[in-house]
Structure 1
Amino acid sequence: MILNKKYFSIYFSLFFITQMFSQETKDTSQDSLKVETLNEVFISATRTLRQLSSLPLPAQIVSKKDIERSNSIRLNDILNEQTGLITVPDFGGGEGIQLQGLDAQYTLILIDGVPLIGRSAGTLDLSRISVGNIKQIEIVKGASSSLYGNEALGGVINIITEKPRTGFNGSINNRFGSFNTNDLSTSINYKKNKLGISAFINRYSSGGYDLIENDNLNTVDPFHNYTFNTKFTYDFSDAINMFVSGRYYTQNQDVIATETLRGKSTIKEWNTHLQLNQTYSEKWNGYLEFYASRYKANEYLNENDGSRFSNSFFNQLMLRPEYRIAYNINENNGFIAGIGITHESLNRTDFTEAPIFNSPYAYLQYDTNLTKQLNLLLGARFDNHNKYKSQFSPKGAIRYVFNEKLAFKGSIGYGFKAPDFRQLYFDFTNATVGYTVLGYNAVPAAITALEAQGQIANIIVPISEFNNQINPENSTSINIGVDYKISASITSNINMFRNNIDNLIDTRIIANKTNGQNVFSYYNINEVYTQGLEFNTHWKPSNLLKVSAGYQLLYAKDIEAEKAFKNGEVFARDSPTSPAFQLNKSDYFGLYNRSRHMANIKLFYTIPKWNLESNIRTTYRSKYGLFDTNGNGYLDDYDDFVSGYTIVDLAFNKTFYKNYKLGLGIDNLLNFTDTQNISNIAGRIIYGKLNIQF
């Protein structure tokens, strides 16, 4: 079991610091743990109902109203506009989210509190999520493994979808625009007495787009997908209620890999979620939950003559039962505890076996208002696993209210990311180039087989180094912030963060092949870190105008690389023919695909006389590097960078006869594209949108 003493010393120091502020008090004016009818209620950060403004953690909500006013149709569009978040494409074309400078694989994505699966390359493609039935999006920054376990090393994004509400109503929504994109959805809702039912159907299609002319290939090939989502609620009594949901997603896409290779790609995903809630007494509540999900992807490529060139498949299954219980000692003190087990299996192309992961877990959290001013949150979780070392994940957070305008909050937590199936069992050889990638557990048998075939020229890393277990990546996350209410119409907050990641899993060359190529595998390396600050401000002088702005400053670096630069071990050239010169510590830029600066400004304005809502939303990303272009193995100031860019979106929505809304807008008004480095920005998109309520 990994249990570093330094985490305990910091963790419990946080508890003792709070005691200096604590006083004997029974004041109940502080936000109660039992409050259920609050504005901006937040669930993900504590798994209890909490007011966003009272949380001791860095968190934010994207409301349904803001989603609707932006006219966005996919989840990645919405997240790109939030402070400190940026979607980045992987080599497979999917878009994952980067949060506080941490890769997409370190952020847990939930729908209604349960995880999405299907990380074929460590990235969960967010563009497959429709926003048509989203009630709100909850974003928790910082390690959250104390409640959610694996993959929550960097944070959690929870997509809360609409539940059945009283009455009968529905809507039809259609948006069409550039690149032959069309998004059509409908929702129906019914609830009377004890029974509630809702359904959501979405069809999204695109003709694809091409950023590079004259190459006879598309940047994104044409596709269409469908999402079906149903929910069922039933109140057996005032004390017992049930919630059941089902979601099905399917996508088909034409694939043109080269001028001679064509094929198809299909994705099929389903999940079902059952929850039975029971109130035992005024203080005790129990929740029995079962979740199941399967994600299947298949792709084939054929030659021009119809012969099969390649075929790949991906079939992942997750099952997770969980029981949790909440106990409110009084209005200012409460516990939540849970136990469960996660079962995962994966059958995939180029795997040495069809692995099965089993991981039982248990967690406990204590939430208390020690005084009128001071809220304390302490939690921990234990995860056992059949394939890697057990993990203990503590977390602590405090919020101290100085007065009605100023509040301090700070948190420290431990997060972990287990080695995924690919990093353990991959056995892939590129048929065209000839290199090989092996999962850690696959190395001994695969290298022995390659040696027997005469394909190994030289072994660089002894096979004996792969007889142990590869360690999970883990992080200590620290966030310190201040909330300041400047006036009734202006609020702001600043959050400073630091994420120290140990045992980062990276690739290295373990052998040379006789064809001149290499064999790669995975291993743990030393610490990297991301640190910086985030600033947000909101100004709402009236119900007609709302302005918000956000900024992130980020430094993301490898500590070993910093040492190499500091010791004068790194050199660069201005050109291939110029002499090499020594670099110093200030020349080290940091990790790849990270921008030093990101910012956003949003302005929403309503004209009641015309029943018109309008908004302009601007995001900025400063330069970043994708490759080492001067050959020294690091990203430094003398490498080539992707230039910074600005995206401007406009949206207008006019309501007719109460139930009809017409929307018009332009995404990427400035028509920014980067044909060489950025594949997920298509160019200017002009669209129209019609919404009908009934």
Structure 2
Amino acid sequence: MNQKHVITSFLLLCYVLLGYAQPTSSIEGTVTDRAGTAIPWATVSIAALKTGTTADSTGRFLLTDVPAGNWELEVRYIGYQPHTVYIRTNGTTPLREDIVLTDVGTSLDEVVVSGTMKEVSKLDSPVPVEVYSAKFFKSNPAPTVFDALQNINGVRPQLNCNICNTGDIHINGLEGPYTMVLIDGMPIVSGLSTVYGLSGIPQSLIERVEIVKGPASTLYGSEAVGGLINIITKNPKTTPTLAIDAFATSWGEISADLAAKTRVGNSVQSLVGISYFNYQNPMDNNNDNFTDVTLQHRVSLFNKWNIDRSDARVFSFAARYVYEDRWGGELGWNRQYRGGDQVYGESIYTNRWELFGTYQLPVKEHILFMFSTNGHNQNSAYGNMPFLADQYIGFGQLTWNKTLGSHDLLSGLTYRYTFYDDNTPATADPSDVAINKPMHTRLPGAFVQDEISLGETNKVLLGVRYDYNSIHGSIVTPRINYKWNSRNQNNVLRLSFGNGYRVANVFTEDHSALTGAREVVFESELAPETSWNGNVNFVKKVPLQSGGIIGFDATVFYTYFNNKIIADYDTDAQKILFGNLDGHAISKGISLNVDVALMNGLKLMAGATAMDVYSEEHNQKVQQLFTERFTGVWSASYTLKRSGLTIDYTGNVYGPMRLPLLSDADPRSPNSPWWSIQNIQLSKAFRNGLEVYGGIKNLLDWTPNRGNPFIIARPHDPFDKLVDFDGDGRAIATPENPYGLTFDPSYVFGPNQGARGFLGIRYSFY
């Protein structure tokens, strides 16, 4: 080899080595708000390099292996304006870049998906969507999503039974069957799990929660009449390698969440979550010989996978398994009495699995296939009445998103199959109740919506959905939305009008989950409900000269129901009678949210809703049971700069609601009193990723037995062995039973759990 070839080969080798050993820099810094308070878990990324990281619990971040060049660094966190900064790296010198984000409360321009079923800026969405971050829920830590929602205006977790403590979620006064709960956009929580499945969703896996109030049936179908709650889980790319969140209370409750992420090669990320809750300390502070709070033992496993594909196409899927063993009842109960009539207890075993995901088709058009499937097994005993049920749901959805000029089109095809079977007459053959006849419901559907931009300040959304229910036939639901915003987007006005529908689900209308003492009777075959809804939403942001901001979000809502399914507790104290209303029902009201973020680090959030929910039949107006006329919530947070100690004060207040009485002689109040649950928390984050928090829940030590002679009727005779009945099956007043009552735990409007302290830790490792 001549000298020329040697030199050429040497230079080529140097070039190759330099190419493979390209020098890189690191970028480190902190993420804070304008008051200097650290913002944990913010996402820091360089999109051009497809690299990113997440700040730790003290707001610190570190990006490594950044090659020389000019880069656009982007920082995002829910509740703050996105921040972009341009940096230059030389491949050798470490850089420091401290980021300051502007806090504008929950009314920020964040990306949301629930209102239109596609990613869109919150301010650009024609449908009003409320967004609550994981940080919001940490101000009052709770073991489940069900408990955590208590501090959101217009959303109330409702307990339906004093003994088993099962419940559902009310939005603007409408009961749980009207609320659809989604996980990552998939209808996972429905049917049986509307009552039991909500308690198995750990807070530690939540990225944010999106809430749409009012009918969303046009996009999501039945069960979304009152609104929907979409729980967005964390992205494995941006979560800590290991995260632990655990706390215990003075009542003996233990809650622990663990999340860990792993990589498989360069294109696959996985997030594993384990949630554990245990409470085995029977308490009877109201002295009725029944547990004040249901004892529970619950384990939830969650696994989510993200797979990177060419052209940034989406492919993610997740699985969840929940097991729960809960019981409540007389203090002397144990498992040998399960299903018998010696000692009363309500014992519930729940086994539930879920699989759901999203896959973007490998075509030029933006076409997504979303799927979910779940199985739910319920083994329950309410006193001596068993309830055994199985439910399987399969759901598939294909959507196509296309932009044509000023038109943003979204169309979709859906199919939902539901299998339901239990040991009650609900699934028996009508001609012979001895023959079991499980229900098979098929629900294919199609929808289309057109979002039309009329310049920079006006937008119109037109949508319609068609479903064919294998039992009830064709159902059509249209909607129209209009949005106007000022050019600086400090003022946004939204008008919405649409139709919703709900197909009755036997279990969620009812049933043994509500009480183990009443017989459920369906007076006739339930027809689908229809509703017409209109609301006006106005959002205003007021920047302050000091640099803070005040946000206002006001809504007026009105819903008119036909064929409303009514639960009648009043006609017969031994039964819950279900039937379609021969008349109409109304839900109307006004709500206001106010967010304040000041430069001194003080953050305030407050909301109130005034509403009137009633039915009208034969010219008689009847207020809906278990529905308050007024509700208010608040949250105040302040960080002491010198100590780094954060103080969170949260609470809610509820007005009176009508409650079910057993007779005219029932001595309990027909309406609940005004009541409030208030909490305080102190937390301190350290630079090693550790955070310690503690406080007091229910500061006022409020419980619903105040002002009432009793809450559970005749707890000393839960099997009605000492009750005398007349020829029509009604209880008769006797010296032993002066009010003519039967055993009944359905008089419930708030939690029986009094004041308790809590202490916990959070730890994140990157």
TM-score interval, normalised by the smaller of the two chains: 0.7 to 0.9
Q: Are 2:397 and 1:322 aligned?
A: yes
Equivalent residue in structure 2 for 1:368, among 445, 448, 452: 452
Residue in 2 that maps onto 1:21: none
With 116-125 and 471-480 compared, the bigger mean Cα shift is at 116-125
Q: How does 1:274-673 map to 2 (within 5 A)?
A: 274-278=357-361, 280-281=363-364, 284-300=365-381, 309-330=384-405, 332-350=406-424, 351-352=427-428, 353-404=437-488, 405-422=490-507, 437-439=520-522, 470-488=526-544, 489-506=549-566, 520=577, 522-542=579-599, 544-560=601-617, 563-564=619-620, 590-627=623-660, 631=664, 640-673=670-703
Counterpart-to-counterpart distance in 1, 2:415 and 2:470: 12
Counterpart-to-counterpart distance in 1, 2:460 and 2:624: 35
Q: TM-score, structure 1 length as denominator?
A: 0.79
Q: Are 2:319 and 1:234 aligned?
A: no
Q: Cα 1:528–1:208, aligned 2, differ >3 Å: closer, same or farther?
A: farther
Residue in 2 that maps onto 1:67: 137
Counterpart of 1:559, as a letter, is E
Counterpart-to-counterpart distance in 2, 1:384 and 1:301: 36
Counterpart-to-counterpart distance in 2, 1:101 and 1:279: 44
1:557 CA displacement: 1.8
User: How big is each residue's C-alpha offset from its partner over 1:304-354, in whole Å with a ceiling of 9 and x where there is no partner?
Assistant: xxxxx4432111000112211111224x43111111210001111213121
Q: Cα 1:167–1:546, aligned 2, differ >3 Å: closer, same or farther?
A: closer
Counterpart-to-counterpart distance in 2, 1:685 and 1:394: 48
Counterpart of 1:68, as a letter, is K
Alignment check: 8 A CA contact 1:118 1:124 kept: no
1:564 CA displacement: 3.3
Equivalent residue in structure 2 for 1:148, among 220, 227, 240: 220
Counterpart-to-counterpart distance in 1, 2:694 and 2:612: 38
1:255 CA displacement: 4.5
Q: Give structure 1 stretches of 5+ with no counterpart.
A: 1-34, 303-308, 441-465, 566-587
Counterpart-to-counterpart distance in 1, 2:318 and 2:83: 22
Counterpart-to-counterpart distance in 1, 2:753 and 2:675: 14
Q: Cα 1:661–1:545, aligned 2, differ >3 Å: closer, same or farther?
A: same
Residue in 2 that maps onto 1:205: 278
Residue in 2 that maps onto 1:132: 204
1:93 CA displacement: 2.5
Counterpart of 2:308, as a letter, is D
Alignment check: 8 A CA contact 1:255 1:265 kept: no
1:630 CA displacement: 8.2
Instruction: Indicate the SS of the match to 1:666.
Output: strand
Alignment check: 8 A CA contact 1:165 1:190 kept: no
Counterpart of 1:130, as a letter, is P
With 203-212 and 52-61 compared, the bigger mean Cα shift is at 203-212
Residue in 2 that maps onto 1:14: none
Q: Cα 1:657–1:359, aligned 2, differ >3 Å: closer, same or farther?
A: same
Q: Cα 1:658–1:527, aligned 2, differ >3 Å: closer, same or farther?
A: same
Counterpart of 2:141, as a letter, is N
Counterpart-to-counterpart distance in 2, 1:75 and 1:645: 22
1:427 CA displacement: 11
Counterpart of 1:408, as a letter, is L
Alignment check: 8 A CA contact 2:402 2:409 kept: yes
Alignment check: 8 A CA contact 2:385 2:516 kept: no
1:378 CA displacement: 1.3
Alignment check: 8 A CA contact 1:94 1:127 kept: no
Counterpart of 1:144, as a letter, is A
* Aligned pairs, number: 590
1:75 CA displacement: 1.1
Counterpart-to-counterpart distance in 1, 2:139 and 2:574: 52
User: How big is each residue's C-alpha offset from its partner over 1:589-637, in whole Å with a ceiling of 9 and x where there is no partner?
Assistant: x22222221112211112243232221112111122213688599xxxx
Q: Cα 1:531–1:188, aligned 2, differ >3 Å: closer, same or farther?
A: same
Q: Cα 1:340–1:164, aligned 2, differ >3 Å: closer, same or farther?
A: same
Counterpart-to-counterpart distance in 2, 1:624 and 1:438: 24
Alignment check: 8 A CA contact 2:254 2:279 kept: yes
Counterpart-to-counterpart distance in 1, 2:299 and 2:313: 34
Q: Cα 1:427–1:98, aligned 2, differ >3 Å: closer, same or farther?
A: closer
Q: Which runs of 4+ in 1 moved over 6 A?
A: 35-38, 430-433, 516-519
Q: How does 1:72-111 map to 2 (within 5 A)?
A: 72-91=142-161, 93-111=165-183
Counterpart-to-counterpart distance in 2, 1:271 and 1:438: 31
Counterpart-to-counterpart distance in 2, 1:517 and 1:546: 50
User: How big is each residue's C-alpha offset from its partner over 1:52-103, in whole Å with a ceiling of 9 and x where there is no partner?
Assistant: 2232323211111212233233212321111111111113521211111111
Alignment check: 8 A CA contact 1:176 1:689 kept: yes
Residue in 2 that maps onto 1:23: none
Task: Give % identity.
Answer: 20
Counterpart-to-counterpart distance in 2, 1:121 and 1:693: 31
Q: Are 2:760 and 1:692 aligned?
A: no
Equivalent residue in structure 1 for 2:259, among 183, 187, 190: 187
Instruction: Indicate the SS of the match to 1:419.
Output: coil
Alignment check: 8 A CA contact 1:211 1:682 kept: no
1:240 CA displacement: 3.7
Counterpart-to-counterpart distance in 1, 2:507 and 2:247: 38
Equivalent residue in structure 1 for 2:122, among 52, 76, 91: 52
Counterpart-to-counterpart distance in 1, 2:580 and 2:444: 25
Alignment check: 8 A CA contact 2:284 2:290 kept: no
With 218-227 and 243-252 compared, the bigger mean Cα shift is at 218-227
1:386 CA displacement: 0.8
Q: Cα 1:176–1:275, aligned 2, differ >3 Å: closer, same or farther?
A: same
What is the alpha-carbon root mean square deviation over aligned residues?
Answer: 3.2
Q: Give structure 2 stretches of 5+ with no counterpart.
A: 1-81, 85-107, 334-341, 429-436, 706-710, 712-747
Alignment check: 8 A CA contact 1:239 1:279 kept: no
Counterpart-to-counterpart distance in 2, 1:594 and 1:261: 29
Counterpart-to-counterpart distance in 1, 2:576 and 2:328: 28
Counterpart of 2:112, as a letter, is F
Counterpart of 1:354, as a letter, is P
Instruction: Indicate the SS of the match to 2:146.
Output: helix
Counterpart-to-counterpart distance in 1, 2:601 and 2:151: 21
Q: TM-score, structure 2 length as denominator?
A: 0.72
Q: Cα 1:368–1:662, aligned 2, differ >3 Å: closer, same or farther?
A: same
Residue in 2 that maps onto 1:460: none
Counterpart-to-counterpart distance in 2, 1:379 and 1:431: 40
1:256 CA displacement: 3.5
With 676-685 and 265-274 compared, the bigger mean Cα shift is at 676-685
